[in-house]
Every structure is written in structure tokens, then in C-alpha cells.
Amino acid sequence: MDYIYLAIALPLLGVLVNGFFGRRMPRKAVGTIASLVILGSFVVSLVAFLGYLAAEGGTHTVTLLPWLSLPPLEISYGFLVDGLSLVMALTVSFVSFLIHVYSMGYMADDDGYPRYFTYLNLFVAMMLTLVLADNLVLMFVGWEGVGLCSYLLIGFWYKKAAPPVAGIKAFIVNRIGDFAFLIGMFLIFWLYGTFSFTELRQSVETVALAGHFPLTLIALFLFGGAIGKSAQFPLYVWLPDAMEGPTPVSALIHAATMVTAGVYMVSRMSFLYSMTEVAMLVVACVGAFTAIFAASIALVQNDIKRVLAYSTISQLGYMFLAAGVGAYWIAIFHLFTHAFFKALLFLASGSVIHGMRGEMDMRKMGGLAKYMPHTYWHFLIGAMSISGIPLLAGFFSKDQILFAAFTARPDIWPNAGMVLWIVGVVTALFTAFYMFRQIYLVFLTKPRFDVAEIHPHEAPASMIAPNWVLAIGSVVAGFIGLPALFAGIIHIPNMFQPFVASAVAGGVHVAEAAHGAQELFKEVLTTSISVVVALLGLGLAFYLYQVRYGTTEKLKKAFAAPYRVLLNKYYVDEFYDNTFVQPGRVLCEQLSRVVDLGVIDGVVNSIAFVIGAVGQVLRPIQTGFIRNYAWYISAGAILLVILLWLGLAAK
Amino acid sequence: MNVIELIVFIAAAALALVGAAGMVMSRNPVHSALFLIANFFALAVIFLLLSAPVLAALQVLVYAGAIMVLFLFIIFFFVQPGQKHLYVYSLPWQTFFSGILVIVLICILVLGLYMGGVFTAEEHVQSAAMKVEELTSPQALGSALFSRYLLPFELTSLLLLAAMLGAVVLARKEGRGDMEEKD
Amino acid sequence: MEPIVAYSLVLSAVLFTMGVLAVLARRNPIIMFMGIELMLNAANLAFIAFSRHLDKLDGQVIALIFMAVAAAEVAIGLAIIVSIYRYRRDVDVDAVNVLRG
Amino acid sequence: MDAIIQMMANAPLLSIIIFLPLVGAILITLMNPAKSHRIKWFAFWVSIATFLISLFLLAGSGGFEKFSHIEQYTWLPQIGVSYHIGVDGISLWLVLLSTFLLPISILSSFSAIRKREKEYYILLLLMGFALTGTFVALDLVLFFLFWESVLIPMYLLIGIWGSGRRIYAATKFVLYTVVGSFFMLLAIIGLYVYSGSFGPGTFDFIYLRSHIAPPELQTWLFLAFFLAFAIKVPLFPFHTWLADAHTEAPTAGSVLLAAVLLKMGGYGFIRFCLTLFPDASVWAAPWIMGLAVISIIYGALVCAAQTDLKRLIALSSVAHMGFVMLGIFSFANTSIGQVGATIQMVSHGITTGALFLLVGVIYERRHTREIAQFGGLASVMPQYYNVFLITMLASVGLPALNGFVGEFLILLGAFRADWALGGLATFGVVLAAVYLLTMFRRVFHGECTKPENQKLLDLNVRELVYLVPLVLLMLWIGLYPKPYLSVIKPAVDRSVRAVMRIASGSVEYARSGEKAATALAQVLSEDTPGGDG
């Protein structure tokens, strides 16, 4: 499929049209154009996908133009078409399309309507660049490009105080990650002399520097970029703040697509990661830690979107956990299912906020199921999916992650797999609990607001329709990548794994699907535990918020200190503020005032002052009386003669 | 150098020195000018002795005649003797330092002449009578001026013209143009 | 060196120094100006002496041109003095210290 | 058309480009100062003509690896000075940058300058004359003359049409730069004396670069040149003139200062310091890279504390030019960094020029540059917002815009030369985002509360006319830098190759006439005869 670049070009066309003429066109046209170009991207990706299937593994690159060409440095506008990039492109363009449609309803009354769709189209173009690029630098273009769009869209409502600040925070934290990413890129280039994924894979695999220190270094630096982009600990702090943006943006960028770029990158570079155990372990541990860390924060948050934001961070942690134990295809699979159910959850929460006139505090909601039944169902399906209720999409992907962790490389990391698995299971418990806590607080408990005043209402059709599509996806998406256990039972083969695995370095460290009886037993065991845990979380939420509504207040009092820590998100933001931001600000001001104006300019000005002072001292010599000057002239002439004379005499 | 020449030279030199000293020391500018005229005449005599008759004549005509007359005119027209305000400002130590400087200067000059071998009594051989003839003849000077030194000569005439114009402009009456600035 | 040339040079040095003295020590601009004329003449004398010594006309030519220059200079100089006098009603050079730094 | 190109290719193009603004300036002196309208447009069209003619440089000869469009006329043969000019891949884009920015800065002054317009436009044209001359001079005396003659118009521009402490800023600017130039002049004379020790003394660059001085002499001469160029760039401890001069200068002055004047330093390093003093350059490279990294980090940190919009942008040049310096001196193993530095000079000229123009736009409307005086401009001036956004992002170094290309190549090269310094410099990328985004938020975001900001007019046609080309260039260089790189690369490669060959000791130093001849032969052996030797 040589026209894959159209998938990027079409949204860019949308950017140009809406960017230049958007303000002069009717709103309907703007939204329609924006959505249509994304649909076009989806169609292009789909055609490419079908072509790929027909060619049976027709991995190939499409090179358009050279970009930076300075031998030995050769970077071109080249696009890599393989299983991994096609899955990503399809996911991205499909979810984006739905969210564009949803946005047409959600943003209908906003002043910045054309601007919104311009940014959104630009985002899709950049995201597709990121996933389709055939070299690291072009990928970095997309990588930074999506960061830019994220910045612009978080700060979309720039008239308010908070959004622009959140946008800057997102951009800068991401840049810190990018800093590491850049260094990783430099190392790669000077070690392997290329940025192209295909060539890189060849040289890494042939040179075989497994366990080599620079290799680990590269992997860790690149992962630094992923930590920033995919909001992992310790650089996750921007994502909760990013919820200041419009909700569809949160759904698209900060849940379904952009934040998964790190996972994609690690999978794309899997050939490299698979060579270095240390980096793999770091990835897995960071992922696992972030998963449980963010999930624990999500337990007590009250803002409907913040819960989802921390949930996203947690789920991304799962993905890195999977990638870290070598199960790249599962990471991508979870990315794929997560895109559906998390987008669904966000869009549903957007409908709630829309119907509640901008209210986001769950403590002021309740009983909305009656007023917005569709949205209730959407949210319920999403929550069930993410919690791992059996047979929904999230169940399959999460289950496989846990299984992969459970069976991860016992030879290399004794017990590590077990620890990771336990962390994953606890996270699953948390996840089920906070999701259903949210369901209860928002939809089921008694209304805690003035119904007469707020008039909660269901969202318009343009917002409901995409949600239904996503809801269906959240239910069925898991069936294309069934675990071996289920594949064996219901005779649907795992289509996802072979498709993606051709692109990632599968096999080497991946715990392959169970074949033996012992493996099967393990899988049954872990799956059962997952199910039990999910139901436990659900049950707990049911008990606390439905059966014994009000118990939570007592719990809060009983565990005041831990509760406060969680509510304040472990004080990480405060810690960063006190450790980096404020001292940095003081440093800058002191540098500017004391060092720059004081010391450096001071030295310069002192030199000037000294010269001036010497001038002042010598000034009386210039009496202004001609006869004095005549005397000086004569004396000077005589002196000159004497000197010349002495000089001659010396010779 | 014969005796007569020597006597004439000594007399002329003495007059020149007296004239110069008188010029420097007179309180009255008119006296100064007159002393200077005496000095110029004496110099004209020495020029003659140095076989430069044309210049001797010009010295009398131009310097003693034209230039000094100009000086006297200016003095007569603008400066009344005994004007107090002429001598109001005095620079402290200026005379003292000038004296030192002048002493140093004269020492250096004389020393320089001495070191340069001026006083070594080496007999100057007059190469040929024709030389002296040529040196003293107005024709030779004239033809030199109009051949080899034509350009400087013409430039001098230009200079004189410029000076004439400049003097006219500068000495114009107040208020006739914007040459003179007013505070 | 021929005695007359040597004596003339010494005389020239002395006259020159007296001219310098006049310029430096006197406060009447007209007398200072005369000092300058004296210095010019001293220089002329030296030129002519050397002309004699070297048997070349060049010294005389230069002296001649000097005279012309001196004439021009006197004309301009006196004109300046006149205008300063008219302007300040006062011809003391020391009063004219507008060059003061 | 071909005929015209042919004709232009044969014409003494560079001289025309240099002297056309001068002729224009002289003609303006004859015009009636009251008819400022006529003067403005005349100056504008002269500069446009210069720019268009300069475009023919691209059409002419094949490739810019070596000097082309060479003109050489004897000037002061007694002391070996000639009028020798030429352009290669390193200077080509800088020449075009200065001819391109001249009409833009003239256009930007139309409504901003209200007093002494005649003199103003004369000086701007003179700036154009001196700037182009600096980039093409191949004789050290000629170079020095152009180099210094840039100061005079700039001094007057700041001193007469500047704002606030303009006299202080102008004096500081001139004195600071002249101190450096003084040492450079000494070194130039030193080179002359040196070249006189084995042949006829000369100031000719082409001759001197094949008669390299011995290392111990190089060190001193290098340091003298270094001081002049480092002040101009400006490198870390020599940067304090910049903030004042840029801040107080009129918009067009700031544009030319930041966009072109600073590049004279960077260009000087590549052209003269490296080529004439290879050993000293290799010796000094780690130190200068260190200073460059300090400039990057320090400049960014200081920027973050500024409250004056223009001062902030001015100081951001310290950081950005730090990148350029880093790239120039990362030549030891690869020329990538230096290619990056060359394109970064052009990029920075465009980006920072545009930023200053944008500040000028708002200054003209509000007569203040205090960031705190703004806020919420995004809703009042949407077009302005968009242009500013793109320019700001280019300055941040966002990929697909021009800033990234240069910075990426520089950092790539620097990382090879010294991974620690390269790594530190990379962190400057983060800091650039901090101060620029914060400034952007404070100016454009939030509610527009100040009544005097609420009725600000958006960009008018004239402002769009001079801003849009800059934005297009940012995109062009960012998206498809190949035309630029393909010109720069061979020339830089050639220069770096010569430096490394001499520094590695494979070429004899020209200590005596005989050795000089062999050195000449060796250096030029790779060049086709009659190329540029």
C-alpha cells in the first residue's frame, strides 16, 4: 500500500482548510470536513490493512522524500507498514473519527469551534506520523507534534486560568522525557549509524550486543521518553492536570492514543529491549509501580475526570508491565482494548458533564442513571470492561498481562514475575473498586444536587452514537486476541498475536501461550484469581456505596492520615513544586539579578567606570587654555626628539 | 669667510638677537613689532651673506614690509596701549615652565648641531664658481620655480587666494552674515 | 662645515627658541603671533644655510614658499584675532578656553 | 529568462549586491526629507531589488563547495590589500538572509519610525551594505572594514531611534564590540606580519589559509579573533551588551542585530578562526564547547526571569547562539554539528527576527514591553496569536519547524564530540520550552482584563506581508531543508576536512617560503586548479 501517507496527508488537508477558512465557514461544514478527513484516514489505513493481509506479511516501507540528508545521516519521510503500525493506525484513526463526531455535538456552542477541529486534525496527523514513521527522527516529529497538540488542546480554553498552565506543565514534563529520548537517539546513531527501524533492527540483531551496557543505556534513555509521554512514574504529573482540556480531548489524546505512544515506542524498539534484561526489568517495574500507585490515588478522587486520568496512568502502567516482561503484543493488545473502553469512559463522563452543566465533582452527582440512560450504559460497559469482568475486552487483555507477568522469565528474575503479578492483581482490585465507586456515586446513589435547577439531560444523538460504537468495541474487541485457554474452548483463534508479533521481537523472552498441562493450569489459576478480584472490587463498591451508604465517612475518619495522603496524590505535585519549580524560579531570578546584572554586567560596567574615573582624574590637564596646549605640544615634540635621539644612539 | 663678512655677520646676528629679545620682552605690542622688524632686516642681511639675494630682498619686502605693517595696523586699530583687560588672566607657572622648556630646547638644539658635526672645521670646497653663480642668481631661482617646483608654486598661489578670501570673510562686520555665532 | 653656515644654524636655533618663548610665555596674542613669525624665520634661516652648504637651490625655494605661507597665515590669523576681539572685546588668549575638557 | 540568468551569472553579482544599498543610501541623501513617503518606498524598492538580484546567486554556477562569484581587484597593493570577495556554501545563506531581512525590516519601520525618517532609511540601507559585505569579504582588511562599518549605523539606530536607555545601550554596544575588534585588528596585522616573514605580506584569506602559522603563534592569534567573535555571538561571559542593545533598539534594529549581526560572529568562527588557526581551534574546542553549553543553560535560566518581552527574546539569543557555537566546535569527529550550526544561524535569524518583529507590532500599539501589561491577547488579536504561536514554537525547536533541524544536527554532532556536553546542551531544549511557553501564556492566555488591550487591532496587511514570508520559511526549512543542507554541507565538509588535516599534522606549517609552497600544494591538491586558490 504505497498510499499510506494519505492517512497523514488527509488530516493535514483538514488542518489547512479549517485553519485558513474555518472561521468563514459554517460550523457544520467545519466539523464535517474535520470528521471526513479522519474517516478518510481510517479508510486508507483499512485499505492498507487489507492489502497487508492479502500480501501475508507484506511488511514494507514507503519513502517519499529525503528530509535530513547529510551522509552518513539519512532521514527521509518514510513510512513503515507492518502489523504493529497498522494496528496503531487503525486504532488511532477509528477512535479519532468517533471522537470527532462526538466533538461536533460536544463543542457545538464553543467559540473556538474551528480552532478546536484544526488542532484535533493536526493531532491525528501527528499521531499517525508517530505510528507510521519508519525512523526514529520522523517518529520524534510525531512524538513532539502530538505533544504540541496536547499542549494546545489542554489550554484550549485559554481564557480560564488553569488550562494554559496545565498545558505548559504537560509540554514541559513531556520535554523532560523527550530530553532523555533525544539522548537515546543520539546514542543509537553513533553506535549503529542509522535511525531507520529496519536497518537498526538488522544491526542490533547482527551485531548482537546483548547485555551490552550502551544498549541498556539506549533502552533506558528511550524509556525516559516513554515515561514522559505515557505518563509513568515519576513524570505522570501532567496527565491529571491535562483534564483541564475539553473532555473529548481527554478521551482521544490523554486516554486512547497519545499517551500510548510510549508503549508503542517500546514495542517498536522491542528488538532492542529484548537484548537487555536490566532495561526490561526497569520497564516492568516502573509499569507495575505506576499501575498500583495511580490506582491507589484513583480510589479516593472526587473529580469524575481525575479518577479516569489516574485510571489511565494505571492502565498504561499495565501496558509497560506487559512490555517489560516481553509480552509486547499483549501490551499492544491492551493498548487496543484500552483505547475503546477508556475513550468510552471519557466520552460518557463528557456526556455527564455536558448534562450536568459542567459539574465535575462526583460528590454533587448521583442518580443520573434515570436522566441519562444511554450514558449510564456506556459508562457501565466501560467500567465492566476495564475492571476485567469476564468476556469483555478489558478482561482478555488484562488477564493476559497478568498471566505474562506470572510466567515471566523465572530463570532470569526469580520471584520478580510473582511480585509483578501480585502488584497487578492488587491493581486490578483497586481498578474494579474505583470504577464501580464511580458508577455508584454518579449514576446510582441518590442525587446530591438540585434536580430542579440543573436539569440533567441526556446528550444529543451525535454524542450518543459514537459512544455506542465504542461500547460495542469495548465488549467485542477482546475476541480478536483471545488467550489460548479461551481460544481452545470457543474455537476462535488468536488473530491479534501473530499479526503484531511479526513486527515486534516476540518469542525471545515472551511467555508463549500455554500448551502444556502445567501452563494451562497456571492460566486457569491466574484467570480465576483475576475474575475473583474483579468481582471483589465490584462487591466492595456495592457494599460501601449501595448497601451501607455512608460507611465511607466512617472509613475516612478511621484512616484519616492515609486518606489524606491519597487524596493529595501522595503530595508529589507539592514535592516537585518545592524541590524543582520554586527553587528553579528563585535560581532564575537570582541568576538574572545577581549574576547577570550584578556580577557579569557589573564587571563590564566597572571597567567602564574605572576608565571614566581615570578620565576624570586626567581631565584638569585639559585646561582649555591654548598656551597650555602649546606647551604640551612643544614638550611632546622635544620628548620625541630626545627619544628618537636615544634610539639612534642605541643603534 | 673673510673678515668683513664675519664682521657683517656678527653685527647682523647681534641685531637679530636684540630684535628677537626685544620682541619677546616688550610690554607694548607696538614695540614688539618694531623690534621684530629690526630682526627681519638683520636676517635679510644674513641671507645676503648666505648667497641668497632674492630671498633677502623678499624678506625685506614681504616680511618687514607687508607682514609687519599688517601687524602694526591691527595693533593701531584695535589695541590701545595700556588696556588693562588685556593682561587680566594669567596662568600660574606658565612662564616658569616655559622657561624650563625653552632652556631644554636650546640645549637640545645646540647639542644636536654639535653632534651633527656643524662645528667641525672642515673646509668647504666650493666646487665651482659657476655653482655660486647659480646659487645666487635670480634667474636660476626663477627657472627652478617655474619648472621643477611649478606645482608647489601654483599651490602656494592657491593658498594665498584662499587666505585672502578667508581673511575677508572672517573680518567682515558683525551682523552681515551668519559667520559669527552668538551665544 | 663652513663657519658662516654653522653660525647661521646656531643663530637659527636661538631665534627659534626665542620664538617658542614668545608663544609660550606671552599673553598677548599679537605678540604670540609674532613669536610664530620669528620661528618661521628661524626655520627659513636654517633652510637657506643648508641651501648654501649643499649648493642646492631647493632650500631657497622652500624658504620662498614659506614666506608665502607665512603671509597667508598672518592674514588669516590676524583676521581671527580681529573677529575674536570684536566678539569678546578682549584679546587675551587665556580667556578663550572654550576647549576646556 | 535563461538569457537573464546567464547575464546575471556573468555580472559582478556580489559587488552589485553589496553596493546597491549603498547607492540607494546616497540617492536618498539627495531626496527631500519632508517627503518621507517617497523615501520609505524608495528604500524599500532598493532593498527588494537587492534581494531579487541576490537570488541570482543561486542560479549561477554549479555548487558552492568552493568560493564562487569571486571578484578580485587590487586596492592597496603596497601592503597586500585587495578587494577580494566571494561566496561559498557557508556564507551563501547568510548573504541571502541579510538581503532578505533588509526589505522586511524596512517595511516594518513604515509606521514605527516617525522622526528623522530620511536618516533612518539611509542608515538601514547602509546596514545592508555593511552586513552583506562582511559575509563575502575574502580579504582580512576588507572584512575588518565591513565588520566595523556595521557598528556605525547600528550605533546611530539605537542611539537615535531607540527607547528608554538608548544612549547607554548604544554606547555599551559599540564599546563592547570595539574592544573585541581591536584585538582582532591586532591579530590581522599579526597575520600580515607573519605572512611577510616568508613572502610578500598579504591580508588575502585564500593565501593565508594555505599558509598556516605555527601552532604557538596560532594560539595567540586565535584568542584575539576569538574575543572579537565571541563578543559578537555572544558567548557566555560576553553577552551583557546584547540584552541592552536589543531591548532599546528600534524594531528593525533589533531584527538586524539578532538575525544578522550575531551571525557575523558565528560566521567569523567558521570562516576565519577554524580555517586560519586549525591547531588552536582543536585545542580550544572543548573549552569553547563548555562555554557554549553554559551559554545555553545560563541564557535559558536568565530568560525565565525576565519581565520585559523584548529583553526575554534578546536573551534567548544567548541560548540559541550557544547552540550554534556548540555545533561549530563539535567538528572534531563529524561535520554534522557544523552543518547544523550553519543552518541554525539562518533559522535563528528567521525565527528571532520574526519574534522581534512581532514584539515591534505590539510595542507600536501599546508602547510597552512589560509582559505583565498584556494577557489575554489571544482573543483580541487572533492572527497575531497564530503567527506568534508558530514563531514561538519554531524558537522552542519543535520538529517540522526550522529550529529543530539545526538544533538536532548540532546536538547530534556535539554528542559525538563530547557526550556529556552534548547531553547537557540537550537539556537546554527543555529550558527553552519553559521560558517561551511561560512568556506566551502570560501574554496571550487568560482573560483580557486591561481595557487598553481590549481594543487592540489585529495584524494589518503590511504586517502580514512581512511576517508571512518568514513563517513560510520556517516551515520550508523545517519540512524540507534539503536545498539548504545540500549547499552548506560540501562547503562545511571541505572546511572541516582542511582543518582536521592540518591539525592532525599531515600538512607542514608555512614557516619558510619553501614549506609554504608545499603546504599550498598539499592543501590545494584536492581542489581543481583554478578553483579558488
**Residue D529, in any domain of the structure:** no
Residue A294 in grid coordinates? 495511580
Establish if A624 touches chain C: CB-CB under 8 angstroms: yes
Q: What is the structure's pLDDT at D519?
A: 52
Contact D311, D244 (CB under 8 A): no
How far is it, in rounded angstroms, from Cα D503 to Cα D275?
10
Residue in chain B closest to C22 (alpha carbons) equals B24
Query: Which CATH number is C3-88 given?
Result: 1.10.287.3510
Contact A314, A291 (CB under 8 A): yes
Phi, psi (rounded to 5 degrees) for D72: -140, 120
Phi, psi (rounded to 5 degrees) for A66: -75, 150
Which residues does chain B have within 8 Å of residue C6's beta carbon, measured at their own beta carbons? 113, 118-119
Domain with B39 in it: what CATH number? 1.20.120.1200
∠ CA C67-C72-C78, rounded to 5°? 120
Domain count within chain D: 1
Most C CBs within 10 A among B3, B17, B31, B55, hence the mutation to make, goes to: B55
How far is it, in rounded angstroms, from Cα A610 to Cα A601?
14
Contact D391, D355 (CB under 8 A): yes
pLDDT at B128 over 60: no
**Residue D263, in any domain of the structure:** yes
How far is it, in rounded angstroms, from Cα A264 to Cα A322?
12
- CB hemisphere CA count around A541 (13 angstroms): 26
- Interchain CB distance below 8 Å, A69 and D398: no
- Interchain CB distance below 8 Å, B70 and C78: yes
- Helical H runs in C1-101? 3-25, 29-54, 58-88
Is beta strand D68-76 parallel, antiparallel or unpaired with respect to D81-87? antiparallel
Q: What is the structure's pLDDT at B173?
A: 64
pLDDT at C90 over 60: no
Residue in chain A closest to B92 (alpha carbons) equals A628
- Interchain CB distance below 8 Å, A631 and B97: yes
What mean pLDDT comes out for the span B152-167? 90
* Residue A432 banded pLDDT, cuts 50, 70, 90: very high
Per the model's pLDDT, the better-predicted residue between D436 and A416 turns out to be: D436
pLDDT at A501 over 90: no
D394: DSSP letter:
H
Q: What is the structure's pLDDT at B1?
A: 64
Q: Note down the domain range covering D276.
A: 2-510
What mean pLDDT comes out for the span A425-446? 90
Q: What is the structure's pLDDT at B96?
A: 85
Q: What is the structure's pLDDT at B172?
A: 74
**Residue B88, in any domain of the structure:** no
Q: What is the structure's pLDDT at C18?
A: 93
What mean pLDDT comes out for the span A570-585? 89
Domain count within chain B: 2
pLDDT at B30 over 80: yes
What mean pLDDT comes out for the span A423-445? 90
pLDDT at A645 over 50: yes
Q: What is the structure's pLDDT at C95?
A: 56
What mean pLDDT comes out for the span A30-47? 92
Per the model's pLDDT, the better-predicted residue between D210 and B56 turns out to be: B56
Do C and B count as touching (3 or more CB pairs closer than 8 A)? yes
How far is it, in rounded angstroms, from Cα A570 to Cα A579?
15
Q: What is the structure's pLDDT at A639?
A: 92
* Residue A56 banded pLDDT, cuts 50, 70, 90: low
Question: For the segment D5-61, what is each residue's pLDDT rounded down to a tens digit?
Answer: 777 667 788 999 999 999 999 999 998 888 888 999 999 999 999 999 999 888 766
Residues (pLDDT < 50) of chain D are 512-514, 524-533
Contact D180, D229 (CB under 8 A): yes
Q: Which amino acid is at D132?
A: T
Of A224, A346, A204, the residue nearest A274 (C-alpha): A204
Q: What per-residue string of b and e applies to A622-648 under the rule 16 or more CB within 10 Å gives b?
A: ebebbbbebbeebbeebeeeeeeeeee
Phi, psi (rounded to 5 degrees) for B116: -75, 0
Contact A352, A415 (CB under 8 A): no
Residue in chain A closest to B105 (alpha carbons) equals A638
What mean pLDDT comes out for the span A608-623? 86
How far is it, in rounded angstroms, from Cα D387 to Cα D468?
8
- Residue bearing cell 492460566: A523
- Interchain CB distance below 8 Å, C28 and B86: yes
Q: Is A288 exposed, middle or buried (0-12, 13-18, 19+ CB in 10 A)?
A: buried
Nearest by CB: D415 against A68, A160, A186: A186
Most B CBs within 10 A among A639, A645, A648, hence the mutation to make, goes to: A645
- Interchain CB distance below 8 Å, B105 and A645: no
How far is it, in rounded angstroms, from Cα D206 to Cα D211?
9
Per-residue three-class SS string for D56-108:
HHHHCCCCCCCCEEEEEEEEEHHHCEEEEEEECHHHHHHHHHHHHHHHHHHHH
- Interchain CB distance below 8 Å, A585 and D445: no
**Residue B146, in any domain of the structure:** yes
Partners of D317 in beta bridges = none
Establish if D175 touches chain A: CB-CB under 8 angstroms: yes
Q: Which amino acid is at D303?
A: C
Of D398, D496, D393, the residue nearest D437 (C-alpha): D393
Rg for chain B (alpha carbons), in Å? 22
Q: What is the structure's pLDDT at A211?
A: 56
pLDDT at B123 over 60: no
Contact A382, A471 (CB under 8 A): yes
Q: Note down the domain range covering B155.
A: 137-171
Neighbours of chain D (3+ CB pairs under 8 A): A
Whole-structure pTM value: 0.84
Q: What is the structure's pLDDT at B132?
A: 60
Nearest by CB: B55 against C4, C60, C82: C60
Q: Which of B19-28, C85-94, D44-53, D384-393 has the lowest mean pLDDT?
A: C85-94
Rg for chain A (alpha carbons), in Å? 31
Partners of D81 in beta bridges = D76
Contact C52, B135 (CB under 8 A): yes
**Residue B76, in any domain of the structure:** yes
- Helical H runs in D139-274? 140-149, 151-161, 166-196, 205-209, 215-232, 240-248, 251-256, 262-268
Residue A13 in grid coordinates? 488537508
**Residue D517, in any domain of the structure:** no
Neighbours of chain C (3+ CB pairs under 8 A): A, B
Torsion-angle region of B182 (φ positive above 0: left; ψ -120 to 50: alpha; else: beta): beta
Q: What is the structure's pLDDT at A517?
A: 64
Which residues does chain C have within 8 Å of residue B75's beta carbon, measured at their own beta carbons? 30
Average pLDDT, chain A: 86
How far is it, in rounded angstroms, from Cα B83 to Cα A69?
91
- Residue where one domain finishes, among candidates B34, B62, B81: B81
Query: In D, residues 412-471, which contact A (CB 8 Å cutoff)?
Result: 412, 415-416, 419, 422-423, 426-427, 429-430, 433-434, 437-438, 441, 444-448
Q: What is the structure's pLDDT at D531?
A: 38
- Residue bearing cell 528593525: D252
Q: What is the structure's pLDDT at D522?
A: 54
Establish if C85 touches chain B: CB-CB under 8 angstroms: yes
Question: For the segment C5-55, what is each residue's pLDDT rounded down to a tens digit?
Answer: 888 999 999 999 999 998 888 878 888 889 999 999 999 999 999 888 888
Residue count (chain D): 533
Question: For the segment D71-119, what is each residue's pLDDT rounded down to a tens digit?
Answer: 899 898 888 899 999 998 899 999 999 999 999 999 999 988 888 889 9
Establish if C96 touches chain B: CB-CB under 8 angstroms: no
**Residue B23, in any domain of the structure:** yes
Give residues with Cβ within 8 angstroms of D55, minimum separation 6. D96
Distances (CA, A) of D310 to A114, A155, B176, D129, D254: 31, 24, 53, 26, 9
Which residues does chain C have within 8 Å of residue A634's beta carbon, measured at their own beta carbons? 20, 24
- Interchain CB distance below 8 Å, A627 and B94: yes
Sign of the four-CA dihedral D130, D131, D133, D134: positive
Q: What is the structure's pLDDT at D465?
A: 92
How far is it, in rounded angstroms, from Cα A283 to Cα A287?
6
Per-residue three-class SS string for chain B:
CCHHHHHHHHHHHHHHHHHHHHHHHCCCHHHHHHHHHHHHHHHHHHHHHCCCHHHHHHHHHHHHHHHHHHHHHHHHHHCCCCCHHHHCCCCCCHHHHHHHHHHHHHHHHHHHHHHCCCCCCCCCCCCCHHHHHHHHCHHHHHHHHHCCCHHHHHHHHHHHHHHHHHHHHHCCCCCCCCCCCCC
pLDDT at C92 over 80: no
A111: DSSP letter:
T
Look at residue D308 and give its three-state secondary structure: strand
- Interchain CB distance below 8 Å, A627 and B112: no
- Residue where one domain finishes, among candidates B41, B63, B81: B81
Q: What is the structure's pLDDT at D9?
A: 66
**Residue D102, in any domain of the structure:** yes
Query: In D, residues 492-511, which contact A (CB 8 Å cutoff)?
Result: none
* Residue A509 banded pLDDT, cuts 50, 70, 90: very low
- CB hemisphere CA count around A612 (13 angstroms): 7
Question: For the segment A161-217, what is each residue's pLDDT rounded down to a tens digit?
Answer: 889 999 999 999 999 999 999 999 999 998 888 899 888 888 887 776 655 788 888
Query: For residue A333, how far is the Cα from the chain centroid?
Result: 17
Contact A334, A319 (CB under 8 A): yes
Nearest by CB: B78 against C35, C76, C82: C82
Q: What is the structure's pLDDT at A511?
A: 43
What mean pLDDT comes out for the span A20-33? 88
**Residue D523, in any domain of the structure:** no
**Residue B63, in any domain of the structure:** yes
D336: DSSP letter:
H
Query: For residue A432, how far is the Cα from the chain centroid?
Result: 23
Nearest by CB: D412 against A178, A189, A596: A189
**Residue D516, in any domain of the structure:** no
Query: For residue D495, how far is the Cα from the chain centroid?
Result: 19
Establish if A642 touches chain C: CB-CB under 8 angstroms: no
